[in-house]
Amino acid sequence: MPPSTPADPSSGGDPRPRANPVPGAAPRPPAQRYGRHLLIFVVLVGALLVAVAAISGERGYLDVRRQKAQLSRLRAEVAALRDENASFLAEVRGLRSDPYVLEEIAREKLGYARPGEIVFRFQPTDPAVKESPQPEAP
């Protein structure tokens, strides 16, 4: 039998003639097609690895988002600490220079009084202890 050639429909072979992708060009050998497919596969796998590393790797997208969230939390904490520090500085300034602040602390915390004043001290009541009701007389 002769080598396979494009057969006409009456010979029982493939009725479709094989056309070259480029007119006048010789068909590519199978090894060249295999190499091209391999190159495309390698490039796609490399691109996939680069994309995964860019998203999840060190200094990747997810890491940058996590660090930005931490930065905003730390900035809020620093602002709160600055406010607290300012209030402490105002309190220290008052203790150093304002005699009324010193007098208030001496009265409340130390129990001091001016000469001639009477200080009343009350025992704190315990809400857990209730007074028992008085028995009724018959």
What DSSP string describes the chain? -PPP-PPPGGGTS-SSPP--SSTTPPPPPHHHHHHHHHHHHHHHHHHHHHHHHHHHSTTSHHHHHHHHHHHHHHHHHHHHHHHHHHHHHHHHHHHHH-HHHHHHHHHHTT----TT------PPPPTT--PPPPPPP-
User: Residues 99-120: pLDDT tens digits?
Assistant: 888 888 888 888 888 888 887 8
pLDDT per residue over 36-75, tens digit each? 889 999 999 999 998 888 888 788 888 889 999 999 999 9
Q: Which residue has the tokens 């930065």?
A: 71
Task: Select from 50, 21, 14, 23 the least CA-distant residue to 36.
Answer: 21
pLDDT digit string, tens, across residues 69-97: 999 999 999 999 999 999 999 989 988 89
User: Which of 24, 22, 27, 4 has the alpha carbon at shortest distance from 14?
Assistant: 4
